[in-house]
């Protein structure tokens, strides 16, 4: 059997193929993380969903698998350092990957479209969109499916456009299921004007 030389075209093409697959997987992972975080802004889960517990447990389990694999394969020299490093790397990656998984499930699961009226409160600034950023403004409403007060992200210009004078309620359209509610849209309206007609 003929061995491939270090600089041979076969070895080079394998490296290029490996790098291409790795970049593709990284791109897909980043796309999923971005898509899931965008969905989570409009998704509100049932209060009993154990979000943080699930994410931590998943991270610990994946971290333990990788730490065990490292323990089994590595030589005894500096084993503790390699095991801890392997655990932490796997824990962080799996924890980050599992974030918003319930939001994605609530979004993808079939549900029914419901409309409801809610009083609202405008807040400045709005809800957090990351560790260090917040929405310019927020609309706090009550969601009957999740039985929670939820806060939607908006801007001052959108509020000015939509919330004309004498608007005292908001009409919400949501897709709901057993996991939570995905807010499809909302519109301000005047209940007094409707009652007069």
**CATH class label, 111-196:** mainly beta
Structure tokens, 155: 């801007």
pLDDT tens for each residue of 14-65: 888 888 898 999 999 899 888 988 888 888 888 888 888 999 999 999 999 9
Domain boundaries of the chain, sorted by first residue = 9-106, 111-196
Mean pLDDT of all residues in the chain? 82
- Give the Å distances, CA to CA, from 146 to 8, 121, 135, 163: 61, 18, 22, 25
Distance from C-alpha of 9 to C-alpha of 60, rounded to nearest angstrom: 42
Amino acid 165: pLDDT: 64
Q: Among 136-140, 156-160, 162-166, name the most confident range.
A: 136-140
Distance from C-alpha of 184 to C-alpha of 173, rounded to nearest angstrom: 5
Mean pLDDT computed over 153-175: 77
Q: How confident is the model at residue 1 (pLDDT cuts 50, 70, 90)?
A: very low
- SS3 sequence, the chain? CCCCCCCCHHHHHHHHHHHHHHHHHHHHHHHHHHHHHHHHCCEEECCCCCHHHHHHHHHHHHHHHHHHHHHHHCCCCCHHHHHHHHHHHHHHHHHHHHCCHHHHHHHHCCCEEEEEEECCEEECCCCECCCCCECCEEEEEEECCCCEEEEEEECHHHHHHHCCCCCCEEEEEEEECCCEEEEEEEEEECHHHHHHC
Is 170 in contact with 189 (CB distance < 8 Å)?
A: yes
Whether the predicted model's global pTM rises above the 0.75 cut: no
Amino acid 197: pLDDT: 45
Distance from C-alpha of 112 to C-alpha of 150, rounded to nearest angstrom: 19
Amino acid 56: pLDDT: 92
pLDDT > 70 in the chain, percent: 86
């Amino acid at each position: 059997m003929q061995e491939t030389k270090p600089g041979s075209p076969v070895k080079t093409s394998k490296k290029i193929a490996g790098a291409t697959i790795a970049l593709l997987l990284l791109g897909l992972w980043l796309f999923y993380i971005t898509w899931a975080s965008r969905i989570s802004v409009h998704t509100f889960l049932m209060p009993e969903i154990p979000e943080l517990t699930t994410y931590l447990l998943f991270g610990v389990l994946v971290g333990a698998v990788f730490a065990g694999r490292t323990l089994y394969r590595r030589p005894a020299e500096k084993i503790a350092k390699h095991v801890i490093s392997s655990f932490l790397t796997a824990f962080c990656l799996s924890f980050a990957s599992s974030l918003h998984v319930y939001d994605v499930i609530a979004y993808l699961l079939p549900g029914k479209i419901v409309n409801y009226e809610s009083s609202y409160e405008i807040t400045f600034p709005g809800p957090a969109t990351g560790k260090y950023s917040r929405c310019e403004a927020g609309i706090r409403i009550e969601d009957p499916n999740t039985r929670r007060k939820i806060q939607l992200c908006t801007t001052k210009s959108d509020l000015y456009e939509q919330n004309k004078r004498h608007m005292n309620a908001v009409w919400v359209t949501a897709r709901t299921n057993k996991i939570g509610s995905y807010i499809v849209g909302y519109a301000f309206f005047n209940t007094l004007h409707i009652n007069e007609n």
